Structure 1
Amino acid sequence: MEACLCRAMLMPGVKKRNTHADPRTFCKQCRNNKPKHRVQLLQARGCTSFGARRSTRLPEVVDSTPFWGGSFPSAGQRKVDSFFISSLVFIDGKPVSLSPLEAQPHSPRYTASSQRERESLEVRVREVEEENRALRRQLSLAQGRSPSHRRGNHSKTYSMEEGTGDSENLRAGIVAGNSSECGQQPVVEKCETIHVAIVCAGYNASRDVVTLVKSVLFHRRNPLHFHLIADSIAEQILATLFQTWMVPAVRVDFYNADELKSEVSWIPNKHYSGIYGLMKLVLTKTLPANLERVIVLDTDITFATDIAELWAVFHKFKGQQVLGLVENQSDWYLGNLWKNHRPWPALGRGYNTGVILLLLDKLRKMKWEQMWRLTAERELMGMLSTSLADQDIFNAVIKQNPFLVYQLPCFWNVQLSDHTRSEQCYRDVSDLKVIHWNSPKKLRVKNKHVEFFRNLYLTFLEYDGNLLRRELFGCPSEADINSENLQKQLSELDEDDLCYEFRRERFTVHRTHLYFLHYEYEPASDNTDVTLVAQLSMDRLQMLEAICKHWEGPVSLALYLSDAEAQQFLRYAQGSEVLMGRHNVAYHIVYKEGQFYPVNLLRNVAMKHVGTPYMFLSDIDFLPMYGLYEYLRKSVIQLDLANTKKAMIVPAFETLRYRLSFPKSKAELLSMLDMGTLFTFRYHVWTKGHAPTNFAKWRTATTPYRVEWEADFEPYVVVRRDCPEYDRRFVGFGWNKVAHIMELDAQEYEFIVLPNAYMIHMPHAPSFDITKFRSNKQYRICLKTLKEEFQQDMSRRYGFAALKYLTAENNS
């Protein structure tokens, strides 16, 4: 059987011949010039357009025999006018148009018969052009009837890859690309949901997942459904992150990884991923029974293309192929990396499981659970443990059942471990699809192009995640209650109000990443533990080490940073011995958005994630006295904070010196106060803020004493964890602590000053917000308006008792 020279499909009934373009090898229908048959051939190839009137150079495989079976004038014939053949031929399955036929020079051998041949040739060319016009008309009609083409430019679809299940063919064409002269056959509809499964556990892996998700969201054009197999730590972090990220057309479901431990804990594993590195084996059991296919990704993956292209590869699976994997790019499974290296059994070089395409429905029917368990039990009798976690078991199963695997082109998993030969997968940037940092060294891995890969990774690492909150136009999405409530609240605001930006900030949802670094805390047995709570921006980062030296107890910090600044903070913290030596400090990143510093939102985030019964509400510019942590724990018991509404006041002082010999006792502090080295906090700028503390009485006090609330009072206090939150309407500078202390008083908290406690404010440059407050009249007017509205709200909530706040304000 010979292929019709249209090369669109095999045509029966044509005798096999060794010829290039002999017209006799065309099928009968082609020779009879039937346009409808040609259209069917084109549609069989998925072509959507002709190559007509393109001067594509004809490959050498085609000789000079014309398409229609005539003959060209010989070189000696007289010159003929140049013309262009706009007919379409197929070479190796691709449509190419004939190049312009140049005229031949004059020749003494030119005869009258040659003239007749020339005239016949011209007539035939006109017939071919007319045939092509008919073909184009019929093909355009066929396209108009196709649903995928009716969408026009609004529909972006992807074709099946030029991948193959045959490894030799794959190696031969590894960098051939995915382009085709034909239009690509649509297989992923515009609004089709793509399912992605990721196993994630711990604080560090949660950071890696964010970078992976950013790279996927950046390129995606389809709705996404993430299935996260996470431990309790990762679930808390990522659930908050996605909830505050509010990305349209993204759904996230969590599956408890701790409940799956018993399924794989019997397998000894030496890989650095630990027990969680084996959990991809149980996805058929874990994921919903109605989920038919899923893309499984490691956390150290970075996408450089739309994930829909990978999703489209599912359509190439045939027969019993249920696993889509890229061949391992190192010699690990060949067993020649070092002497006595004995890897698990694998087919050839084996396969890497950083990127997996799983046909879940077929795997379940094949009894995958039983298959991998029996294989693992058999191999562990000789191997004793896995070295590469689930990858060893996947490869052992494939070794026994090679028909299960569809081999993906290696650009879907460019592996950057020390022993890989990944550079054979790509020649230029367009060949890169997925980068896999599958080495414990991660970005420090040795690779001759590692700088390029590192820059690509850093692009998404530091990319502003708020920019990924873009709509997928034309795709219906599930109604999100939080998003709808937010839009309703914003619609109720008056955009013409001069204080609109202040009011809007109250409803802004800031993307939040909890526990950015590793955190460990063991509760005290006596239930007296106290957490220091503070908030900061990048310009106060240098205070962290000093606070950790002064306060040995747990700390909860909210940091207001951009994505790029968060990475700067990470590098700073990882390079600090003091910070790395403390695991009871929780760093919560609140990402920048809007023009104001959301000081009370930051305080609320830090307060909400306190794990102790009590908290010390401080500011980042203050250094607590040495031993304050233990002193507060004793005072908690002494004043019975567990059963009473009390707020313990820590008196605040300040110094104007950047280098201070910190007082080690109250007596030393009083001496420095007398000498003018220290001052009561803001005594010359905002006396009312701390005047009720009664510093004169504190100098001689030996027991705690009670003070009354006064207007503009804003002390630093120790309270129970269940105290009211800060009011979010106050942003930037002004009244943020004052309003909180007023609410504590309204809820009948007693203010008790501790006689042997103190904290000292360290000097720093003025913040951007205080500069705006001092220089912008409208800023001050809006702050005054917000104060009045807050007092009115207090009156509505607390009734007659709250009238004193209005009176006090008027008197001041």
Structure 2
Amino acid sequence: MRPRCLVSIPNVILFLLVSVIMLQIFHVYLMQHQEDIQNERHHRTSSRYRISPEVRNAYRTDSSGYYFIVQDIFGSGKQHAPADLAIVTHTTSNHLQNLLHLSRRWEGLISVSVFTHGQDVEFALHLSQRLYECYKEIEQKVIFHLVFPVSCNITNIPYHQVNCDVEDTIKSSNKNFELGGKLRYPHNVLRNLALKTVEARFILAMDIDMLPSANLFGTFQRNLISSITSSNQTAYILPVFETGENYNIPSTKDELLQDKNIQPFYANVCQKCQYITDYDRWKHLGKSEALDVAYDLQWTHPYEPFYIASKSSLPLYDERFKQYGFNRVSQICEMHVAGYKFSVLNNAFLVHKGYKNKSGFYWDKEKDHLKNRALYKIFKEELKSKYPNSQRHC
């Protein structure tokens, strides 16, 4: 007598089907897990972002028609909800590395316009991409824009794969201002691009080689932003200091006041450009944990403070000012004529990395300064027509 088969054929088939399905599910899980590992390593060995068609086929220019402008070259701005407060800044490729410290100190968005030209384009694009891919805080916070001369041919720029584990061999010899020939650094084109393209209620306009005091983003939100309307015409001033190139940057006011290497910004170059801040008064304010307005100032030329202000009511920078001189103070002048109040914050500040010295400026600075001084006179006359009812002038 044959032994009975305890397992029926239909049951075997069902078992095999279930096994195949489970194996497929496990395979999908492994694939997803591997992808998560790659994401956690932040794509350290492969590159997601190539030079976008918007860069290669740039067609949008600034108001002068001299420069192509390409906003949000990595498309990261689409990932962010509108912010309460964002930094707007600008740079050339040789200062892009400052984004590392800035993104670690600042909790909010950073909108940065990068100016490049000629042989520097390859390096500027590669370094921007490397920073974006290799550092999570930059990917999460920084929106990159690109500005370059219309005469610059970038269609044949080679693509370099990013490997975050290998030191870069591509270097740049570019220096600010010393761009050569007739090319002039367009500060205000860059500032306007960074300002207009970031979705934020308030902006902090600053240089890329500065760091804000720690927790400024959070304290401004908690202590001030709820009481300020979008049409508010107040510039909330941050006193600016400077320290040695390789010195530690203070993060709190207590640290700043105890740091013997700290001095007011532009102390060796243009004291009158910053002295209205009244550094002595600010240093001796009563101690307070909350961020608040300490005192108001009466603006006079050539005071050019760094500030936080409502984006919706802020005058744009005049893009005719290029290279050195009057590019920032022209906007401050217009804010004054438009009726702005200038109020100093009690605990917030900026620190510039490196002492500013006259010997550090480029050789043709005075020529550019004279050219912009003549333009500034024209600019002030134009403000009289733009604000015919204003009793203020520059």
Q: Which has the bigger relative contact order, CA under 8 A and spacing at least 6?
A: 2
Q: CA deviation at 1:766?
A: 8.1
Q: CA deviation at 1:765?
A: 8.9
State whether residues 86 and 198 of structure 2, in contact with CA within 8 Å, keep that contact through their aligned partners in structure 1. Answer: yes
Paired residues for 1:418-497 under 5 Å: none
Q: CA deviation at 1:644?
A: 2.5
Q: CA deviation at 1:613?
A: 0.8
Residue in 2 that maps onto 1:312: none
Q: CA deviation at 1:509?
A: 3.9
**Residue ranges of structure 2 left out of the alignment (5+ in a row):** 1-47, 151-181, 287-291
Residue in 1 that maps onto 2:306: 716
Residue in 2 that maps onto 1:698: 282
Residue in 1 that maps onto 2:257: 670
Q: CA deviation at 1:572?
A: 3.0
d(CA) in 1 for partners of 2:277, 2:143: 30
d(CA) in 2 for partners of 1:803, 1:756: 30
Instruction: Give the residue type in structure 2 aligned to 1:662.
Output: I
d(CA) in 1 for partners of 2:235, 2:253: 21
Pair 578,564 (structure 1): closer, same or farther in 2 beyond 3 Å: same
Residue in 1 that maps onto 2:134: 576
Paired residues for 1:510-589 under 5 Å: 510-519=67-76, 520-523=79-82, 529-562=84-117, 563-574=121-132, 576-579=134-137, 582-589=139-146
d(CA) in 2 for partners of 1:530, 1:767: 33
Residues 770-796 of structure 1, C-alpha deviations (whole Å, 9 max, x = no match):
41444x5x4333122111111111122
d(CA) in 2 for partners of 1:561, 1:765: 24
Pair 634,752 (structure 1): closer, same or farther in 2 beyond 3 Å: farther
Q: Secondary structure at the match of 1:534?
A: strand
d(CA) in 1 for partners of 2:253, 2:95: 27
d(CA) in 2 for partners of 1:765, 1:713: 17
**Is 1:604 matched up with 2:197?**
no
d(CA) in 1 for partners of 2:136, 2:358: 26
State whether residues 636 and 642 of structure 1, in contact with CA within 8 Å, keep that contact through their aligned partners in structure 2. Answer: no
Residue in 2 that maps onto 1:242: 59
Which of the residues 371, 380, 388 maps onto 1:791? Answer: 380
Residue in 1 that maps onto 2:370: 781
Pair 767,701 (structure 1): closer, same or farther in 2 beyond 3 Å: closer
**Identity across matched positions, percent:** 24
**Residue ranges of structure 1 left out of the alignment (5+ in a row):** 1-203, 215-240, 245-504, 806-812
d(CA) in 2 for partners of 1:725, 1:206: 32
State whether residues 512 and 588 of structure 1, in contact with CA within 8 Å, keep that contact through their aligned partners in structure 2. Answer: yes
Which stretch has the larger CA shift, 584-593 or 711-720? 584-593
Pair 696,508 (structure 1): closer, same or farther in 2 beyond 3 Å: same
d(CA) in 2 for partners of 1:512, 1:767: 32
State whether residues 237 and 307 of structure 2, in contact with CA within 8 Å, keep that contact through their aligned partners in structure 1. Answer: yes
Q: CA deviation at 1:210?
A: 4.8
Superposition TM-score, scaled by structure 2 size: 0.70
Q: CA deviation at 1:749?
A: 1.1
State whether residues 545 and 578 of structure 1, in contact with CA within 8 Å, keep that contact through their aligned partners in structure 2. Answer: no
Q: CA deviation at 1:518?
A: 4.3
Instruction: Give the residue type in structure 1 aligned to 2:276.
Output: P
d(CA) in 2 for partners of 1:730, 1:768: 23
Residues 73-126 of structure 1, C-alpha deviations (whole Å, 9 max, x = no match):
xxxxxxxxxxxxxxxxxxxxxxxxxxxxxxxxxxxxxxxxxxxxxxxxxxxxxx
Q: CA deviation at 1:762?
A: 0.5
Pair 206,641 (structure 1): closer, same or farther in 2 beyond 3 Å: farther
Residue in 1 that maps onto 2:268: 684
Residues 681-732 of structure 1, C-alpha deviations (whole Å, 9 max, x = no match):
1123211111111112111225511111111111011111121100111101
How many residues align? The count is: 304
Paired residues for 1:207-218 under 5 Å: 207-210=51-54
Residues 214-238 of structure 1, C-alpha deviations (whole Å, 9 max, x = no match):
6xxxxxxxxxxxxxxxxxxxxxxxx
d(CA) in 2 for partners of 1:534, 1:767: 23
RMSD between aligned residues: 2.8
Pair 521,759 (structure 1): closer, same or farther in 2 beyond 3 Å: same
**Is 1:624 matched up with 2:181?**
no
Residues 153-189 of structure 1, C-alpha deviations (whole Å, 9 max, x = no match):
xxxxxxxxxxxxxxxxxxxxxxxxxxxxxxxxxxxxx
Instruction: Give the residue type in structure 1 aligned to 2:375.
Output: L
Pair 779,733 (structure 1): closer, same or farther in 2 beyond 3 Å: closer
d(CA) in 1 for partners of 2:334, 2:130: 37
Q: CA deviation at 1:661?
A: 2.5
Which of the residues 222, 228, 240 maps onto 1:634? Answer: 222
Q: Secondary structure at the match of 1:718?
A: strand
Instruction: Give the residue type in structure 2 aligned to 1:552.
Output: E
Q: CA deviation at 1:665?
A: 2.0
Instruction: Give the residue type in structure 2 aligned to 1:508.
Output: G
Q: CA deviation at 1:532?
A: 0.4
Residue in 1 that maps onto 2:248: 661
Q: Secondary structure at the match of 2:195?
A: helix
Q: Secondary structure at the match of 1:242?
A: coil
Q: Secondary structure at the match of 1:742?
A: helix
Q: Which has the larger radius of gyration?
A: 1
Q: Secondary structure at the match of 1:511?
A: strand
Residues 646-704 of structure 1, C-alpha deviations (whole Å, 9 max, x = no match):
1111110001x2222232321221111xx3x1001112321111111111211122551
Pair 770,662 (structure 1): closer, same or farther in 2 beyond 3 Å: closer
Q: Secondary structure at the match of 2:237?
A: strand
Q: CA deviation at 1:517?
A: 2.1
Q: CA deviation at 1:764?
A: 7.6
Paired residues for 1:35-434 under 5 Å: 207-210=51-54, 241-244=58-61
State whether residues 213 and 348 of structure 2, in contact with CA within 8 Å, keep that contact through their aligned partners in structure 1. Answer: yes
State whether residues 548 and 578 of structure 1, in contact with CA within 8 Å, keep that contact through their aligned partners in structure 2. Answer: no
Residues 508-550 of structure 1, C-alpha deviations (whole Å, 9 max, x = no match):
34212211224121236xxxx1000100001211211010111
**Is 1:757 matched up with 2:359?**
no
